[in-house]
Structure 1
Amino acid sequence: MDGGQPSPEPAPAPGAPRAPGSSVIAPVRAVLRLRRRVCLLRKRRFLLPGAGSASAGPDSAPRTPRAGPDQPQFFTFDGAAELSSRAPRKRRRRSRVVLYPEKSRKYLPRGERHSRAQRCLLLLVAIVGFQVLNAIENLDDNALRYDLDGLEKALQRAVFGQEAAVGRIVQLLRDYLATHVHSRPLLLALHGPSGVGKSHVGRLLARHFRAVLDDSALVLQYDARHHCPDPHAAQACREELARRVGDVVARAEAEEKTPLLVLDEVDFMPPALLDELHGLLQPQRSHQFHNAIYVLLSGAGAGEITRFVLQNASRALPVRPGGGRVSRAGAAGAQAQEELRAGLRALLAREHPLWKAAAVVPFLLLDKWDVVNCFRDEMAGEGFFPEQALAERLAAQLSYYRVAGHEFAVTGCKQVVATVNLL
């Protein structure tokens, strides 16, 4: 026996009788031989290269070298030398996807988290913005009630040569009427020489407020010479004025409106009436007295205004050739206007403390072109054709201050009505 295996038994001769039990022993022996061969092949497969170099016989199969650490564990047609020369294949690391459980909370990194205080801050900003917008709309609604744009157009159309005064009056009214609640009333003091348009502006203001308020009882017009002609009855006039003002402001408070009180010829008022007016403006009075507009028309300070206009006549804009005139904001610039208001307020405050709380609006002298416009407007109102040549001829009959190429009327448009009535 070679290699530890038994030699195959000789096959029986043909035609020889078989031994009893040989039909069972032969298959068993074949199965045993197959089993031993399979076991031998398994042992040779797991042996290292070079081990067991001796041949195991003719039935033994060729040995298969065991795969080393650098050789693949699968079948290939390449030899061992070719496999060892190849570079080892790098395995790519696959990034693992992090999956959150369905019932767990997902938290952002600490730097990307949103604070709850930020949401509250945004909500607070939205609420404040809505309140501000609502307040602005309410202010606009309160100012639209008085139609200040229409008032400005009416004043500019009917009052000549007082562009700066009209603009300041409308601006003060617009600021005051922007809200209904006030801490003190508005006191407008219109000062200027005779015939420059102070009383005319007072009448236009009274007419406009009667129209927009739909109640004539909320507009009070008081003339010192007419309502209090006797200076010895100053105490009785004072009580009457206090009663009339109290009735107007009480009615306006009930209707939630702002009344208008126009007082003309204030420079002829007795000191007792000025004291009463000054008392009406005090913050100690009830709230209904704070919501009111007082317009005082006075000729006090006329000399100061006349001197200022004549000294600053060179700052006035020139007259256009052919009768046209450049629109101007008074005989002086904005800075000169402010100087005039400050000087006029200081002059009036020495006479009575009432003028310290007043918003002074000076009315300047009118030049010849403004007087011509007054004549044309009055002629049209009386039914005459407003002829330019006739208006200029009538205006030439008046007296003027002639300074620096300008002609300023001494009496303004005071004599226009009487002159047109003679036509």
Structure 2
Amino acid sequence: MRGCVIFTAYFLSSTCFLHLVVCIEPISGISAAAALVAAAFLSGYDVLKSYVTETCGDRWIHNNYTGLPKQLNEKLYGQHLVLRAVNNHIRGHLKSAEPAKALALSFHGWTGTGKNYVSRIVAEHLYKEGMHSKFVHLISATKEFPHEGMVPFYKDQLRAWIEGNITRCSRSLFIFDEMDKMPSGLIDTIKPYLDYYENLGGVNYRKAIFLFLSNTAGGDITQYVYQHWSNGYPRKDIKMADVEKIISRAALNSKTGLWHSELISKHMITAYIPFLPLEKSHVRRCIKDSMVAKGYVLTDDRVESVVEELTFWPESEQVFSVTGCKRVAEKVDYVMEEY
């Protein structure tokens, strides 16, 4: 006698359900039915898991490149070159179903100009968990690679780490901070993963994104912008091509993490992106954002009191902030203790 079993499983208050009808022959079909039921349970478990645990799928990786330019425009000050470059490169990479290679953007500029800030905004718009996502990886050169004499060990460590993470999720984001302090030659380890290979050892690395953050060329960029300002030209007239030359020359000649690197000689870096020194007007906007975020009453006098606690350069003209917006939050707290 032939019979049918109806099997239904509900998850998350019927948000997700499985409905399975199994028709079997007596005895001989029992094992087949058991296998089908087990498969249904496993499938339901995978669906349920994707709801409660971060997985490498569209539910957790948004690729929200439409919201990225809006956030950058609203919260990143004085960086017109960064706005266009980051938005266009990220958008172009994500819109391609099969990118030609992994995206590699090298951020350069003085401290406090927004390199880490932009990295965080990118992470927040691509991953539901932002910087807390297990597919976003922040590597500090001074913390992870402190000893020059251990480069061979670090190379093995870095290679295994990148391969393991991209094998788990091809849409991974890697942020290398303090590249200028990385031991020379170490970064060449990742060259194969930035190349044009369709797969390497059976793994596709071309969907990954690498961001390299460095103070290299910060002084040269500042000198160029100061000269531009001294000649009376508007800041927004500065072109990417002019500053990119300064960065690539500094990266080649200064003993930093990219010095003599194959990433440069083999043209593995997608773009060198300059972060210009911030002027007082930009720092004032950072101060206002910080005061509002901390719940302080915002007044012009209080903003100027914070400005007076910061250092600007050159001494005679007081144009550019020495530390950008990096020390703004602590100076806001310090000043507001007096009110």
TM-score, normalized by length of structure 1?
Answer: 0.57
Partners of 2:119 and 2:132 in 1: CA distance: 17
For each residue in 1:123-146, what CA deviation from the matched residue of structure 2 results, as whole angstroms up to 9, or x when unmatched? xxxxxxxxxxxxxxxxxx9xx951
SS in 2 for 1:294: strand
Aligned residue number for residue 225 of structure 2: 309
Deviation at 1:360, TM superposition (A): 0.5
> Are 2:194 and 1:281 aligned?
yes
How many angstroms apart in 2 are the aligned matches of 1:215 and 1:406?
38
| Alignment-mate amino acid for residue 333 of structure 1 | D
Whole-Å separation in 2 of the counterparts to 1:262 and 1:252: 16
**Corresponding position: 1:379 with 2:291:** yes
What's the counterpart of residue 66 of structure 2? 149
Q: How far apart in 2 are the matches of 1:279 and 1:227?
A: 21
* 1:165 corresponds to: 82
Give the one of 288, 296, 307 matched to 2:212.
296
**In the alignment, does 2:264 pair up with 1:357?**
no
Alignment partner, residue 237 of structure 2: 333
Is 1:181 the equivalent of 2:98? yes
Per the alignment, in what secondary structure is the counterpart of residue 195 of structure 2? coil
Q: Give how far 1:186 is off.
A: 1.0
CA–CA separation in structure 2 for the residues paired with 1:214 and 1:228? 21
Give the distance between the partners of 1:183 and 1:388, measured in 2 at CA.
50
> Per-residue CA shift, 1:182-218, capped at 9, x if unaligned?
2311110010011111111122222332218999222
Displacement of 1:230 in angstroms is 3.1
Partner AA of 1:305 in structure 2: I
- Residues 369-412 of structure 1 deviation map (CA, whole Å, 9 limit, x = unaligned): 11111111112222212322211221133222359977211221
Aligned mates of 1:380, 1:218 — CA distance in 2:
31
* Structure 2 residue 175 is matched with structure 1 residue 262: yes
Please say if residues 162 and 364 of structure 1, whose CA atoms lie closer than 8 Å, have aligned partners that are also in contact: yes
Equivalent residues in 2 for 1:97-136 (5 A)? Answer: none
Counterparts of 1:366 and 1:266, CA distance in 2? 21
Instruction: Show the counterpart of 1:413.
Output: 325
CA gap of 1:352–1:207, structure 2 versus 1, over 3 A, is farther
Shift of 1:270: 0.9
Match of 1:295, SS state, is strand
Q: Name 2:155's counterpart in structure 1.
A: 238
CA deviation profile, 1:277-318 (whole Å, cap 9, x unmatched): 33432335615122211110001111210111011014554x
Aligned to 2:249: 346
AA paired with 2:162? V
Q: In the superposition, relative to structure 1, how do residues 279 and 315 fare at CA in structure 2: closer, same or farther (>3 Å)?
A: farther
Unmatched 5+ stretches in structure 2: 1-57, 254-258
Quote the offset at 1:148 in angstroms. 1.0
CA contact (8 A) 1:217 1:248 kept: no
* Distance of aligned partners of 1:415 and 1:276 in 2 relative to their CA distance in 1, 3 Å threshold: same
Q: How far, CA to CA, are the matches of 1:213 and 1:196 in structure 2?
A: 21
Give the 3-state SS of the residue equivalent to 2:66 in structure 1: helix
Contact 1:148 1:174 (8 Å CA) reproduced: yes
Greater displacement, 241-250 / 260-269: 241-250
User: Rg larger in 1 or in 2?
Assistant: 1
Aligned pairs, number: 263
SS of equivalent to 1:177 = helix
Highest RCO, 1 vs 2 (Cα 8 Å, sep ≥ 6): 2
Work out whether residues 224 and 269 of structure 1, in 8 Å CA contact, stay in contact via their aligned partners in 2: yes
Distance 1:292 1:263 in 2: 13
Cα 1:170–1:289 change in 2 (3 A) is same
Q: Is the 8 A contact 1:263 1:295 kept in 2?
A: yes
Q: Indicate how the Cα distance of structure 1 residues 192 and 215 shifts in structure 2: closer, same or farther if over 3 A, else same.
A: closer
Q: Do the aligned partners of residues 229 and 403 (structure 1) sit closer, same or farther apart at CA in structure 2, a change above 3 Å counting? A: closer
Higher fraction of strand? 2
1:193 counterpart = 2:101: no
Give the share of equivalent positions with the same residue, in percent: 25
Structure 1: runs of 5 or more not aligned: 1-140, 318-330
TM-score by length of 2: 0.70
Over residues 24-82 of structure 1, what are the superposed CA-to-partner deviations in whole Å (9 max), with x where a residue is unaligned? xxxxxxxxxxxxxxxxxxxxxxxxxxxxxxxxxxxxxxxxxxxxxxxxxxxxxxxxxxx
Give the Cα separation in 2 of the matches to 1:377 and 1:204. 16
Q: 1 CA distance for matches of 2:305 and 2:252? A: 42
